[in-house]
Structure 1
Amino acid sequence: MAAPMELFCWAGGWGLPSVDLDSLAVLTYARFTGAPLKMHKITNPWRSPSGALPALRTSHGEVISVPHKIITHLRKEKYNADYDLSARQGADTLAFMSLLEEKLLPVLIHTFWVDTKNYVEVTRKWYAEALPFPLNFFLPGRMQRRHMERLQLLLCGEQRPESEEELEKEVPLGQGARECLTLCGGQPSTPPPLCFSPASLDAFVFSYLALLLQTKLPSGKLQAHLRGLPNLCTYCTHILSLYFPWDGAEVAPPRQTPAGSETEEEPNRRRNQVLSVLAGLAAMVGYAVLSGIVSIQRAAPARTPGTRGLGMAEEDEDE
C-alpha cells in the first residue's frame, strides 16, 4: 500500500486556515478536490522536508515545494478541479490568473511585507510570536527580503530598482488593482461567483482576497475598497464556511476529526504538556529540599511492648 501524500503548510491565523498566500492557495485547491492529504500545519519551515512552505511529499517520497507544481501533481493523481472546464474556459482561467499575478499579487506583497506599518504591527508580529526560538529573531527579516526579491521580479524583471523607495513607486497601488478587484466582483446586482463547484481559479482568487479581507491592517486602502464590494465579501465568507468551517477559528472545534487530519498530533501535544508540568513540579520540589525551604523528617514508629529497645535506638539516632 502506497504511503499517503503529505502537505506541509503555514499554520492558520487571522480567521484563516493559513496566513501564507501560497499555502492558502494550495490548501484551498486540495479541499476543493477532496485530495486525501495528511496535513501538517506548522510554524517552523525547517520541519518541512524541503525547508520551505508549502511542500508536498508524494506517495513515492518525492518532495515538491512550488505551489503550481503541487497543484499539477494533484491533477496527475486524478484530483482535478478543472476537469469539467471546456478548452475556452481553461484559456480564460489562465488569462485571469495572469491578470491577478500582474495586478493584485504585487499589491498584496507590498501590503504585508513592504508597507512599514503593516509589516511591523501585523506580519512580523504574527511570525515572531508563532516561530520557535531562536528562529523568531531572524527568520521574519529573511522572509521579508525574499518577498521583496519576488516583488522586484514581478515588477521589474531582471532590472532591480536602486532603492526601496523606487520599488514602492513601481507597485500599482492605484487604479489597476482596484479595477482588478471590481472585475472579480462584477456588478452589485449579480450573484457572487460559484463556490459549489469551484475550479483552480477560485482557489487563487480566494487566497488573494481572503488574506486581504480578514486581516486587521492599520494601513489598508485596497482593503477598504475590497470591503466595499459585497459580492467578493460574500464569496470569501461562503468558501470559508463550506470548506474551512473550523480552520483558523478563535474557538477550538469539537474533537470529531478523522485520523490523518490537522489535529492528529493533539494527543502527543497534550502528553508533552503534562510531562512539562510534572518536570517543572519536580524541579521546584528538588530546589526547595536542597535549599532547606522544605525539610523531610522521618517519624518514629509507634512503640509496642515488644519493640521498646528498638524504638529508643531510632529516637536517639534522630536526635
Structure 2
Amino acid sequence: MAAPLELFCWKGDYGLPSVDVDCLTVLAYAKFAGAPLKVHKITNPWRSPTGTLPALKTREGGSISQPSKIIIHLRKQKYNADYDLSAKEGADTLAFVSLLEEKLLPALVRIEHLLLFHRRFPILFFYPPSLSFCRSARLMSVLCTELSLLHVMSRHLYRDAFECMTLLSQRLGSQKFFFGDFPSSLDAYVFAHLAPLLKIKLPNGKLQQHLNSLNNLQQYCTNILALYFPSDARGHKIHAPPDSSDFGNEPHKRRNQILSALFAVGAMLGYAILTGILTIKRERPQLKNSSHDDEDDEDED
C-alpha cells in the first residue's frame, strides 16, 4: 500500500481550517479535487519537512512547498479540479489568480503586518531556518515601518482591493462556483484570499465591510466552509476585535513590546551592516617607532 500524501500547514482559527492564505489554497484545492491527504496542522514551521508552510510530503519521500507546485503535483497524481475546464476557462483562471496577487494580496499583507504588531512575541522567532538572516531582517525592517504607520494604509491598496473584490463579485454572479456547479483551482485561490477577510477580526475593518457588502462573495465563502470544512466552521469561537482596550489588558504587555522593539532594532542594524548601509571601521593604534622614542628620550635628557 502506497504511503499517503502528507500536508503540513498552519493551524486554523476563527472557524477557518488554516489562518494562512497559501495553506488555505492548498487545503481547498485538495478538498475540491478529492485528494486524500494526511494533514498536520502546526504552529511551528521547523516541524515541516521543508521548513516552510505549506509543505507536501510525497509518496516517494520528497517534499514540495509553494501552493502552485503542490497543486501541480496533485494534478500529476490525478487529483485535478480543473479537468473539465475549457481552454478559455483555464485562461480566465490564470488572469484572475494574477488579479488576486496583484490587487488583493498586497492589502492582505499590510493587514497581516498590523496583526503581527498585536502578537505577543517577535515574529522572527517563528520564521523557518530556510530564510536567510538578511531576508528575515529585511522583513523585520518592513514590519517596523508598518508599526510606525499602524493605523495608516495606503489609499491605492484599498482602492485596488475594493476593485478586485467587486470584479470577483461580478464574475461570480449568482453561480455556486466561478465555473458553474463544481469548484476549480480558481475557487481555491479566491476562497483562500477572501475567507480570512470574512472571518478574522481585523484592526481596520474597511476591507471586511466591503466584502460583507458583496452578498454573493460572502455567501460563497460561507458555503465552501460549510460544505468542505464543516468541523472547522462548527468549532468556531467568537474572538473579540483586537482593539486597543483588549491589548491594553494583556499581561506582560510592556515587557513584550520592549522585547519586540529590541529585536526589531537588532534585526535592522544587522540588515544595515550586511547590505553596506552601515559600516563599522576599526582603527588600530599606531605603534611608536622605538628609535624615535629613544631620540625623544635623549632630547628630554
- Counterparts of 1:148 and 1:228, CA distance in 2: 36
1:5 aligns with 2:2: no
Q: CA deviation at 1:146?
A: 5.5
Spell out the pairing of 1:82-231 with structure 2 (5 A cutoff).
82-113=82-113, 115=114, 118-121=115-118, 124=119, 138-139=125-126, 149=139, 172-186=156-170, 190-194=173-177, 196-231=181-216
Q: Is the Cα contact below 8 Å between 1:103 and 1:172 reproduced in 2?
A: no
- Counterparts of 1:202 and 1:146, CA distance in 2: 32
Distance 1:51 1:10, change over 3 A: same
Residue correspondences, number: 228
Distance 1:236 1:208, change over 3 A: same
Q: CA deviation at 1:192?
A: 4.5
Counterpart of 1:138 in structure 2: which amino acid? F
1:247 aligns with 2:254: no
- Counterparts of 2:89 and 2:190, CA distance in 1: 16
Spell out the pairing of 1:280-319 with structure 2 (5 A cutoff).
none
Distance 1:204 1:47, change over 3 A: same
Q: CA deviation at 1:174?
A: 2.8
Q: Alignment partner of 1:38: what SS?
A: strand
Q: Alignment partner of 1:227: what SS?
A: helix
Q: Alignment partner of 1:112: what SS?
A: helix
Counterpart of 1:65 in structure 2: which amino acid? S
Q: CA deviation at 1:205?
A: 0.1
Q: Which has the larger radius of gyration?
A: 1
The residue aligned with 2:62 is 62
- Counterparts of 2:204 and 2:3, CA distance in 1: 45
Q: CA deviation at 1:33?
A: 0.7
Q: Alignment partner of 1:9: what SS?
A: strand
- TM, length-normalised to structure 2: 0.67
- Counterparts of 1:103 and 1:216, CA distance in 2: 21
Q: CA deviation at 1:249?
A: 3.9
Counterpart of 2:21 in structure 1: which amino acid? L
Q: CA deviation at 1:171?
A: 7.7
Counterpart of 2:125 in structure 1: which amino acid? F
Q: Alignment partner of 1:186: what SS?
A: helix
Q: CA deviation at 1:103?
A: 0.1
Counterpart of 1:55 in structure 2: which amino acid? A
Distance 1:112 1:137, change over 3 A: closer
| Offset from partner CA, 1:248-289 (integer Å, 9 cap, x none) | 54379xxxxxxxxxxxxxxxxxxxxxxxxxxxxxxxxxxxxx
- Counterparts of 1:92 and 1:110, CA distance in 2: 27
- Counterparts of 1:38 and 1:120, CA distance in 2: 33
Q: Alignment partner of 1:106: what SS?
A: helix
Counterpart of 1:221 in structure 2: which amino acid? K
Q: CA deviation at 1:220?
A: 2.1
Distance 1:56 1:92, change over 3 A: same
Distance 1:33 1:146, change over 3 A: farther
Distance 1:193 1:172, change over 3 A: farther
Q: CA deviation at 1:223?
A: 1.2
Distance 1:233 1:50, change over 3 A: same
Q: Is the Cα contact below 8 Å between 2:110 and 2:153 reproduced in 1?
A: no
- Counterparts of 1:27 and 1:225, CA distance in 2: 25
- Counterparts of 1:119 and 1:55, CA distance in 2: 22
Q: Is the Cα contact below 8 Å between 2:14 and 2:236 reproduced in 1?
A: no
Q: Alignment partner of 1:15: what SS?
A: coil
Q: Is the Cα contact below 8 Å between 1:25 and 1:204 reproduced in 2?
A: yes
Q: CA deviation at 1:71?
A: 0.5
Q: CA deviation at 1:197?
A: 0.8
- TM, length-normalised to structure 1: 0.63
Gaps of 5+ in 1: 129-134, 153-162, 253-319
